[in-house]
Amino acid sequence: MSDPLAPLPAFFHLIALDAVDSTNEEARRLAASGAPEGTLVWARRQTAGRGRRGRSWQSPPGNLYASILLRPRCAPAAAAQIGFVTAVALGEALRRFLPPGVPLSFKWPNDVLVAGRKISGILLEASGLTGDRLDFLVVGVGANVATSPADVPYAATSLAQSGAGEVKTGDLLAVFAESFASGLARWREEGFAPAREGWLARAQGLGGPVEVRLDRETLSGRFASLDEGGGLALDLPCGERRVVTAGDVFFPDL
Ligand code: BTN
């Protein structure tokens, strides 16, 4: 890797690579061979980057691809909260590079949007259970720094396209790592409430109409809230409330 990197919090053990299939896959391989919590895999490019719900993630040089290995002593359901801790940390980091006044929001579950366009995505991959606890969790973060993909079914942007100028991926990683380490420590001490509040304060479409596409059905209703486990609480026209834990969200006015 050519980018110099500012010092990271002591929590992290950095592994910097020029190319890898997927930083999530590499973090999983390292986890299986006993790597410690805080192992951070960072690659200049990925050859098989993956996104949520089985999609691929285009990964040319110039953007950020990083995965953090965690060994949280929690049940799988609680691990979803870490996705929101990560999104809030990423939002804080991206904000540091954006011109003042450029709107940044969070789209359920873990996307960050700038001016309504997706700038980053997060992929959580959990593995193994000992009793009711996870063996490990990989938190994968992709952020568009220099470029955004053209042929994706959503509006996308990058830091460069949003007026941030030229940003080094290593600089974004260093700022994100600081925010993430403090957000994670807070989650461990205080639970989900601080991250949940931070996320809700900038939630895209909160209180308005939303369509949620699940594997086998599409639901339309009002985006009421984020529940205590990180699920999207949806008020249906029939008056019923549904909590959705996996799906894709669409807003009529975005
Ligand atoms: C999404 O679909 O929005 C999630 C995208 C997550 C992409 C990141 S890039 C680093 C890490 N490695 C991967 O293969 N995927 C995640």
The pTM assigned to this predicted structure is 0.96
Would the pLDDT of 20 be above 60? yes
Atom of ligand 1 lying closest to residue 51 CA: 2
Assigned superfamily of 13-200: Bira Bifunctional Protein; Domain 2 (3.30.930.10)
Q: Distance (Å, rounded) from C-alpha 232 to C-alpha 254?
A: 18
Mutate which of 26, 47, 50 to test ligand 1's pocket (most atoms within 8 Å of Cβ)?
50
Residue 225 burial (CB count, 10 A): 18
3 pLDDT band, cuts 50/70/90, is low
Q: Per residue in 125-158, pLDDT tens?
A: 998 777 778 889 999 999 999 999 999 989 999 9
Does 50 sit in the ligand 1 pocket, CB within 6 Å? yes
Burial class (CB in 10 A: 0-12, 13-18, 19+), 89: buried
> By C-alpha distance, which of 41, 218, 74, 233 is closest to 141?
41
Residue 124 burial (CB count, 10 A): 19
Residue ranges covered by each domain of the chain: 13-200, 209-250
Q: Per residue in 58-91, pLDDT tens?
A: 999 999 999 999 999 888 888 999 999 999 999 9
Does 63 sit in the ligand 1 pocket, CB within 6 Å? no
Q: Which amino acid is at 87?
A: A
Q: Which amino acid is at 188?
A: R
Chain centroid offset of residue 112 CA: 7
Query: What integer pLDDT is reported at residue 130 of this predicted model?
Result: 74
207 pLDDT band, cuts 50/70/90, is very high
- Considering just the CA atoms, what is the radius of gyration of the chain in Å? 17
CATH 2.30.30.100 given to domain 209-250: yes
